[in-house]
């Protein structure tokens, strides 16, 4: 293996389960797994530079392929998280709704929610009647309605396209609001002012 691996893509071939467990591991917290360009050290000590398509979010179990053909398995690192439980499914849905309203990355389990440790959100959840425990465990949030995880083809530009579309939409609505807020004058008023 070279001194530093250059990784630009996901593995494009099927790998036997027995072989997957022997692959070098790239163990990363969620914060790094959602970046597309960074340097890291594999579990075996080899340095790696990642240049993935923009908008990529690495998931636990993803397989990457370095320029030299080396295959690498992504693993979620244990990190400080809040484990949220509730007495009823409805209460848990209510908590998920409020977290979603704040665009908070959330992992959804059978009867729990998991999110990055945050004292403000922890207090909000307690006030909503949730049971909240801090723990150290891998964090695997939902990808979201607009994607997440690796994308192919035209989807690689989705995040940039979406941002651009929102900007155009906002500018259009700001312009429309400006037009509505300006006082309108009848033709006669403006005409009479011109001649006075």
pLDDT tier, 2 (very low <50, low <70, confident <90, very high otherwise): low
Choose the weakest-confidence range: 1-5, 23-27, 52-56, 182-186. Answer: 182-186
Region 37-63: mean pLDDT is: 94
62 vs 167, higher pLDDT: 62
Q: What is the pLDDT of residue 13?
A: 81
Name the percent of the chain lying above pLDDT 70: 72
pLDDT tier, 71 (very low <50, low <70, confident <90, very high otherwise): very high
Query: 50 pairs with which residues across the strands?
Result: 7, 38
Q: What is the pLDDT of residue 152?
A: 36
- pLDDT tens readout for residues 152-195: 333 444 454 445 445 544 554 444 444 445 444 444 444 444 44
d(CA 14, CA 16): 7
146 vs 51, higher pLDDT: 51
- Domain residue ranges of the chain, discontinuous segments joined by +: 4-76, 78-138, 153-178
Region 50-54: mean pLDDT is: 93
Q: What are the DSSP calls for 159-184, one per residue?
A: HHHHHHHHHHHHHHHHHHHHHHHSPP
Region 28-47: mean pLDDT is: 95
Region 100-121: mean pLDDT is: 95
Residues contacting 39, CB < 8 A, separation 6+? 47, 48, 49, 50
**Does pLDDT of 43 surpass 90?**
yes
Supply the mean pLDDT for the chain.
81
d(CA 25, CA 44): 7
User: Which CATH topology does 78-138 take?
Assistant: Alpha-Beta Plaits (3.30.70)
182 vs 117, higher pLDDT: 117
Q: What is the pLDDT of residue 144?
A: 64
**What CATH number is given for 4-76 in this structure?**
2.60.260.20
Q: What is the pLDDT of residue 155?
A: 40
**Dihedral sign (CA 68, 73, 74, 79):** negative
């Amino acid at each position: 293996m070279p001194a530093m691996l250059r990784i630009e893509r996901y593995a494009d071939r099927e790998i036997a389960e027995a072989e997957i467990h022997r692959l070098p591991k790239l163990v990363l917290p969620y914060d790094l797994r959602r970046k597309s360009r960074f340097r890291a050290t594999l579990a075996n000590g080899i340095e790696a530079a990642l240049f993935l398509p923009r908008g990529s979010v690495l998931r636990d179990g993803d397989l990457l392929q370095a320029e030299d053909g080396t295959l690498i398995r992504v693993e979620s690192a244990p990190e400080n998280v809040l484990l949220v439980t509730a007495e009823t499914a409805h209460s848990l849905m209510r908590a998920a709704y409020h977290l979603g309203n704040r665009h908070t990355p959330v992992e959804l389990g059978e009867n729990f929610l998991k999110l990055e440790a945050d004292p403000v959100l922890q207090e909000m959840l307690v006030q909503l009647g949730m049971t909240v425990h801090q723990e150290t465990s891998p964090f695997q949030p939902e990808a979201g309605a607009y994607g997440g995880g690796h994308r192919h083809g035209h989807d690689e530009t989705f995040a940039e396209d979406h941002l651009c579309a929102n900007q155009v939409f906002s500018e259009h609505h700001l312009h429309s609001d400006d037009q509505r807020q300006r006082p309108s004058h009848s033709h006669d008023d403006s005409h009479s002012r011109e001649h006075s």
